[in-house]
Amino acid sequence: MRLDPIRVLVTGGAGFIGSALCERLLRDGLEVICVDNFVTGRAANIAHLLAVPGFRLVTHDVIEPLDLPGPLHEIFHLASPASPVDYQRLPLETLRVGSAGTDNMLALARAKNARFLLASTSEVYGDPLEHPQREAYLGNVNTVGPRSVYDEAKRYAEAITAAYHRTYGTDTAIARIFNTFGPRMRLNDGRVVPNFIAQALAGKPFSVNGTGKQTRSLCYVDDMVEALLSLMRSPHHGPVNLGSTEEMAVLDIAGLIADQTGNPLRFVYAPLGQDDPEKRRPDTALAHRLLGWSPAIGIPDGIARTISWFRTDLGRTS
């Protein structure tokens, strides 16, 4: 029986998903160490946690080794720019955090005998030729295109995670996260949901790349946090897809946000970015079988909660 409290490290804990995860872990009474360099995270995301007993913030760039005194039982490694606008603005930082940053956090997990969970991504499948995407699909990534800095960093991160497990017996898990949205995304982070909500709240037309017929499957952040916790607490080592199977065209995402905000459905079109995936939907049979997990919050409900949060956040910052 474990007598000391569970101590958990969350890298990227000041980001969108990381801050929701820190909040959830604290609610369970765990000790949470949030490590972040704020390259895409925000102090405001964790300001309300600073006074919570058991929470500690360490401002650190994980591409440098990290030595923490005391025990550590779990490491959630989320540090990495995630929005295409962010990672194309920060190409070398993204490659380095996925490679050196992941190596450093795996070394820490090994030293502390902690279970390590990598936040990987559906982008390891690139512009997929198989639909929906199963974990066994090996992907279709352009190694030198503008998205490769993220895709290949995460593919390397998966490879080194698997190698630590095989070589040292480090207890590892790999979460292949599909598009996730919700409160605490930056309104200007460039991803489709915050962009469309920002445009709707400003009464502007929706900015659509390409035809808008390309699809994504959107998962609400609270569901994703539950999935990450379940995977961490499972004994599984191989990659597991986590996400919603409700696939929507970009134009339909705009339609939903238009309906909920009353913004008229008008579009301004821009060219589709190079290698922007045409369709994306996970096969989540494995997550369902291993973890008993599937999302509980439907997209319209999640979008309503997100719009409501952005209205409040805009009120705070304007």
Distance, in Å, from the CA atom of 59 to the CA atom of 46, rounded to the nearest integer, reads 12
**Residue keyed to tokens 């450093």:** 104
**Partner from ligand UDP, ligand NAD, none contacting 192, C-beta within 5 to 8 A by type:** ligand UDP
Query: Among 250, 287, 291, 307, which residue interacts with ligand UDP (rule: CB under 6 A)?
Result: 250
**Partner from ligand UDP, ligand NAD, none contacting 38, C-beta within 5 to 8 A by type:** ligand NAD
Question: Minimal distance in Å, beta carbon 107 to ligand NAD?
Answer: 15
Residues 33-72 that bind ligand NAD (CB under 6 A): 35-41, 61-63
Which distant-in-sequence residues (6+ apart) come within 8 Å of 41 by Cβ? 12, 13, 14, 15, 18, 19
Residues 65-94 that bind ligand UDP (CB under 6 A): 83-84
Task: Output b/e per residue, 107-130; b: 16+ Cβ within 10 A.
Answer: bbbbebebbbbbbbbbbbbbbbee
How big is the site for ligand UDP, counted in residues (CB under 6 A)?
A: 16
Task: Output b/e per residue, 167-190; b: 16+ Cβ within 10 A.
Answer: eeebbbbbbbbbbbbbbbbbeebe
**Partner from ligand UDP, ligand NAD, none contacting 276, C-beta within 5 to 8 A by type:** ligand UDP
The verdict on 12 binding ligand NAD (CB under 6 A) reads yes
Judged by CB, which is closer to ligand UDP: 145, or 190?
190
Judged by CB, which is closer to ligand NAD: 43, or 268?
43
Dihedral class, residue 126 (left if φ above 0, else alpha if ψ from -120 to 50, else beta): left
Instruction: Mark residues 193-212: x for contact with ligand UDP by CB under 6 A, - for none.
Output: --x-----------xxx--x
The verdict on 79 binding ligand NAD (CB under 6 A) reads yes
Active-site hit among 125, 150, 164, 220? 150
**Partner from ligand NAD, ligand UDP, none contacting 72, C-beta within 5 to 8 A by type:** none
Which distant-in-sequence residues (6+ apart) come within 8 Å of 299 by Cβ? 218, 220, 244, 246, 248, 256
Which distant-in-sequence residues (6+ apart) come within 8 Å of 59 by Cβ? 35, 36, 37, 38
Distance, in Å, from the CA atom of 194 to the CA atom of 159, rounded to the nearest integer, reads 31
Which distant-in-sequence residues (6+ apart) come within 8 Å of 99 by Cβ? 153, 156, 157, 160
The verdict on 74 binding ligand NAD (CB under 6 A) reads no
**Partner from ligand UDP, ligand NAD, none contacting 200, C-beta within 5 to 8 A by type:** none
**Partner from ligand NAD, ligand UDP, none contacting 12, C-beta within 5 to 8 A by type:** ligand NAD
Tokens matching residue 70: 């005391």
**Residue keyed to tokens 């605490």:** 184
Which among 39-47, 98-106, 186-194, 240-248 is the span making contact with ligand UDP, rule CB under 6 A? 186-194
Residue 179 and residue 205 in contact, taking contact as beta carbons nearer than 8 Å: no
Q: Is 269 a catalytic residue?
A: no
Helix or strand (DSSP H, E) at 57: strand 55-59
Question: Minimal distance in Å, beta carbon 37 to ligand NAD?
Answer: 4
Which residues are catalytic, by number? 150
- Residues near ligand NAD (CB under 6 A) are 11-12, 14-18, 35-41, 61-63, 78-82, 97, 101, 119, 121, 177, 179-180
